[in-house]
A = this chain, B = another copy of it.
Amino acid sequence: MASLGELERAVMDLLWAGQAAATANTLRDQLALSTEAQGGTAGHEGKELAVTTVLTVLSRLEKKGLVERERGTRPHRYQAVSSREDHTAELMHEVLGSAPDREAVLARFIGSVTESEAETLRKLLGHI
């Protein structure tokens, strides 16, 4: 159970991007800014969501264990439990584990990795 919806994903992206814990309102504003008059890479809409919507999503993310909230302060402050990289790596492991022959999967995986990534991997595997 690790799949995220589109909005959930957008919220996580903000939490991962920002350094400090954010409040629901902050996130609501930031969500509105995404794509706001930005004809660029596409994303959502410059749509103003209700704060309750953001709060609902945050609660769901909390239940999924992706978000942690400080309940002490009045505007609760939300933050990602783990970094985007950790989370993604974990997901990769999950996917890898979903096949019986992990090594065969790794073989295919390596087969289509970019050269720079291969280099990174070599470096990382080297000093063991």
Q: Which residues of A are at the interface with B, using a C-beta cutoff of 8 A?
A: 3, 84-86, 88-93, 95-96, 98-113, 116-118, 120-122, 124-125, 127-128
- Chain B residues contacting A90 (CB-CB under 8 Å) are 108
Copies in the complex: 2
- Chain B residues contacting A102 (CB-CB under 8 Å) are 117
- Closest B-chain residue to A119, C-beta based? B128
Q: How far is the CA of A43 from the CA of B100 in the complex (A)?
A: 15
Are A89 and B111 neighbours in the complex by a CB distance under 8 Å?
yes
Listed from nearest, the 10 A-B pairs whose CB atoms lie closest are: A89-B108, A89-B109, A88-B99, A85-B104, A110-B124, A88-B105, A103-B120, A91-B95, A85-B105, A92-B95
With A88-B96, A96-B92, A99-B85 known as contacts, the answer to whether A106 contacts B117 (CB < 8 A) is yes
With A96-B88, A101-B85, A105-B88 known as contacts, the answer to whether A118 contacts B112 (CB < 8 A) is no
